[in-house]
Structure 1
Amino acid sequence: MEELLGRIIAGKVTDENEKDYYVQVSGTTFRLDKAEIKKPLKLGSIFKGFAYENEDHDMQITRDAPDAQVDHYGLGTVVRSQRTLGVFVNIGLPNKDIVVSLDDLPDIMELWPQQGDKLLIALREDAKQRLWGVLADGDVYQAIAQPAKKKMQNSNVTARSYQLKLVGTRVITDNFELGFIHPSERETEPRLGEELHARVIGVHDDGTLNLSLRPRTYEAIDDDSAMLLAALQHSDDGKLDFSDKSDPAAIKAYFGISKGQFKRAIGHLLKDRQITQHDGALWLNQSAATTEKTDEPAE
């Protein structure tokens, strides 16, 4: 059979029954579901559609062509995986999922895409007329990318991982900006195709982003610590006349928390080196003093 599958082809309508038309292309007959066709086709007419082999191993042609085709990339959703084969991706065909081979997936199976993750793939037809998914490489992502703007600094973005390396994870945002996540900016390594919620920590002159999966300082600490830190940040001189020796009633009146909660909050902030405690007062460290400004999204 000449290369027909995974492409939009044209053929002649040669027969029909109650459910299907039959379209012949270069000696191969494809089934066409009549449910797709609004206006009846005439025998001998030409029909153009996307050709594939369905899950029952019947040759089928459809008017509803997916974005992912041979030499055309489209986004598909992972529906399941098989350790000995790879992952199955739904590209929009009613009765056929496309396999991305395990040879193209990470060596560590825990980093394989899971159900609901998305992959940008094209199709290839092998020597046995089977269709496989081909992952888009870095050149493809470069071709579809849009440059990031400087005002994105410290903003939140949704991105999807497309390349996993020892040096870090490459991603593309929902708005097609390319980004990079260094291992120091994540708790665990993302899966291939996983949707990620990240923060912009750098915008390069070439329009690419450095991203972090770690929470902002005020998001990473407990409520009492965050409240205490905010009080210091909003004080005139970065100082509060309280310490772990302060009167419990004064602490309760000012902060609305117990002395035990207050001491735990101080301990957390001291450990994170965001404050110091001396001369009977709490003092904001300079790095924490700028947090409030740097954590605000750019206008």
Structure 2
Amino acid sequence: MAELGKQNELAIVNESPHGLYLDGGDLGDILLPSAYVPRDLTPNSKISVFVHLDSEDRLVATTERPKAEVDQFAALKVVEVNRRMGAFLDWGLSKDLLLPFRESRGRIEVGDTRVVRIYIDQASGRIVASERHSRFLSDARPRYQPQQEVDLIVASETPLGYKAIVNNTHVGLLYENELSDPLSVGQCFKGYVTKVRADGNIDLRRDRSGYSRVAPLAEQILDKLKANQGRLELDDRSSPDAVRAAFNVSKKAFKQALGSLYKQRAISFSDGGVDLIDPKP
């Protein structure tokens, strides 16, 4: 059976002047408008579509891919504010996603990025968004292991740092004093669990803790030096953005790796960059 707010593989039932009707199981036949019908269909093929509601609350399918589905968190941009209904968010479909005022937090302006949970409102049956995260998070104690990689969405700033949604199910904290550069609400990236506290709160880092990341990062730096004739136009004074673009790590981790290589006399510093000592082919 087709699921509302999800990606579905649906079979073609019949054609019409308006498009294709797809088998939605208990939901009935679902129209895929002509504008979204693929040209390379083969007989008896199924189509991967996203099922949602049109402006008249009728089930409809689309081959457009949303930025997130029902039961997921996402960072979405505000494209319109309706004083009566709420804010409309760009989620990748032609029809924008409603964030009702009752589900929002604080003043909303066009251009804002909002971290929301996408869900089906039981009263109306519509797909909507909510900034009231807590009721969608798991009550079960987190079972993450130290150094485990997780997906993070920065949800809010706090006096200690930044709260982040962890794997769509929990919330954790990135401490400001452990970050080499500031974060922004809505940023999405891979992070790491430092530990799960006795009260169930999760401590997070953007990079692996301590020197456990230095050895593999040092190898990456050496590989890049060898691939660039023994020269790297980065050093311990380079900007965090430049370091992140080159190695996807914090400047702190990069400096630790450079320090390790320098102590091993594998590199030297000159003219704002790093040189490989005795480069080998």
Question: For the superposition of Structure 1 and Structure 2, which TM-score range results when normalised by the shorter chain?
Answer: 0.3 to 0.5
Which has the higher Rg, Structure 1 or Structure 2?
1
TM-score normalised by the chain length of structure 2? 0.47
TM-score normalised by the chain length of structure 1? 0.44
